[in-house]
Amino acid sequence: MRSGCSGMSARCVVTSNLVLAIETSCDDTAAAVVAGGRRVLSSIVASQDDVHSLFGGVVPEVASRKHVEVITAVVQRALDEAGVTWGDLGGLAVTHGPGLIGSLLVGVAAAKAYQLSTGLPLVGVNHIDSHLNSNFCDTPDHEGAPEDFPAVCLVASGGHSDLSLMLSRSEHRVLGCTRDDAAGEALDKAARLLKLGYPGGPAVQKAAEGGQLRFDLPRPIIEGTFDFSFSGLKTAILRVIQQLEKKGEPLPVNDLAASFQQAVVDTLVRNVREAARQEGARQILLAGGVAANKLLRAELARVGEDLDIPVRYPPFKLCTDNAAMVGAAAWSLLQAGKRDDLALDVFAGLESC
Ligand code: KG4
Ligand code: ZN
């Protein structure tokens, strides 16, 4: 490792456009090397799904311990796969919130240690900014979105349902967010009720493929806002399941999954359509784990056709949590001179609006 500019220096100069990024906000341990905030040279994700699936959801304490076990190996692999060494890098980036505090602390502590030993400039990145920026990543088989603003971007994941207006790579205004459960969380909870396993989103999508839209579930609207609410939808499916069980009828799992997925997607799409129309968006961007959902993509494609604007989303591997998006978001911050030091703190950010 080299010794560059001093750890705390706000004057520290960025000498290369290569950023090593670290992401540990939830249950994936990830590291990546990204060039110029766009080109992904490596993106390593060590998933903990196997462990958490035993419990039907993420257990924060277990997640932190797993991050500690693998973080250094994941970082080394990101460097190796990118074919770079510490001396080639121009900066370090790490997610410092929102997320699970224990998980975030592992990534931030690792980033601080690397910062101390290399002297590289360090910047803390917001997890939602990262998801927004995942759209601009170039990979060997996918060209990122053009920087065409304003863009309406939906970040739908296990922890967030945020609708934002992007004005540049580093500036956005939150138009709406969830008042209770996130879209992915709702899908995960429905999957648990239907005994489909974890993570629930892909399981519900798969079960829905063979199902009919037989159940009339609510599409919650919070008038006058672009906010979302999914907890009522979860209660509604629970009631349907309880009624069917009371009658001793076998659960029509595929039909229930299809009806639930449609209700979640309709709710998300309605707000995206309205926001894009009202804000005169030049493109619609999609991010977060739920962005992998095929029905959501198809319905949003229709919105794009109606409004005559493109709808774009990152490749699947960059939809779910990863560190490439952190490196993508960090570049404009580093260029603007943002620097963090050993005082960099983590935040849970449960109040996402
Ligand atoms: O962005 P992400 O990896 O982590 C968070 O920050 O939460 O998103 C994970 C979420 C989970 O709730 C998962 O069920 C959901 O994304 N998900 C999907 C699909 N793939 C993952 N939801 C719907 N359809 C999918 N194909
Ligand atoms: Zn996420």
Q: What is the pLDDT of residues 129-157, one digit of tens each?
A: 999 999 999 999 999 999 999 999 999 99
Quick one: which ligand is closest to 230's CA? Answer: 1
Enumerate residues 6+ apart whose C-beta is below 8 A from 97.
25, 104, 126, 127, 346, 347, 348, 349
More confident residue, 294 or 3: 294
The amino acid at 217: L
Residue 308 has pLDDT above 50, yes or no: yes
The DSSP letter of residue 210 is: T
pLDDT, position 61: 85
Rounded average pLDDT over 2-9: 40
Confidence of residue 80 (pLDDT cuts 50, 70, 90): very high
Between CA 171 and CA 164 the distance in angstroms is 10
pLDDT, position 12: 60
Residue 238 has pLDDT above 70, yes or no: yes
pLDDT, position 95: 97
Q: Which atom of ligand 1 is nearest to the CA of 158?
A: 7
Quick one: which ligand is closest to 294's CA? Answer: 1
- Any atom of ligand 1 within 6 Å of the Cβ of 293: yes
- Any atom of ligand 1 within 6 Å of the Cβ of 26: yes
Lowest pLDDT segment from 70-84, 104-118, 215-229, 297-311: 215-229
- Mutate which of 25, 45, 130, 157 for ligand 1? The one with the most ligand atoms within 8 Å of its CB, which is 157
More confident residue, 56 or 255: 255
- Any atom of ligand 1 within 6 Å of the Cβ of 23: no
User: Strand, helix or coil at 110?
Assistant: helix
- Mutate which of 187, 264, 267, 286 for ligand 1? The one with the most ligand atoms within 8 Å of its CB, which is 187
Confidence of residue 352 (pLDDT cuts 50, 70, 90): very low
Between CA 156 and CA 145 the distance in angstroms is 18
The DSSP letter of residue 53 is: H
The fraction of the chain above a pLDDT of 70, given in percent, is: 95
Q: What is the mean pLDDT of the chain?
A: 92
- Any atom of ligand 1 within 6 Å of the Cβ of 97: no
Q: What is the pLDDT of residues 168-208, one digit of tens each?
A: 999 999 999 999 999 999 999 999 999 998 889 999 999 99
Rounded average pLDDT over 103-110: 97
The amino acid at 8: M
- Asked if 284 and 276 touch (Cβ cutoff 8 Å), the reply is yes
Q: How far is the CA of 160 from the centre of ligand 2 (A)?
A: 7
> Which tokens belong to 212?
């009919």
* Residue closest by Cα to atom 14 of ligand 1: 201
The amino acid at 5: C
- Any atom of ligand 1 within 6 Å of the Cβ of 340: no
The DSSP letter of residue 167 is: S
Confidence of residue 350 (pLDDT cuts 50, 70, 90): low
Q: What is the pLDDT of residues 20-78, one digit of tens each?
A: 999 999 889 999 999 999 999 999 999 877 787 777 677 888 888 999 999 999 999 99
Closest CA to 19 of 113, 134, 121: 121
Neighbours of ion ligand 2 (CB under 5 A): 157, 321
* Residue closest by Cα to atom 13 of ligand 1: 201
- Any atom of ligand 1 within 6 Å of the Cβ of 99: no
* Residue closest by Cα to atom 7 of ligand 1: 158
- Any atom of ligand 1 within 6 Å of the Cβ of 7: no
Confidence of residue 2 (pLDDT cuts 50, 70, 90): very low
Quick one: which ligand is closest to 58's CA? Answer: 1
Number of Cβ within 10 Å of residue 26's Cβ equals: 25
Q: What is the pTM of this model?
A: 0.90
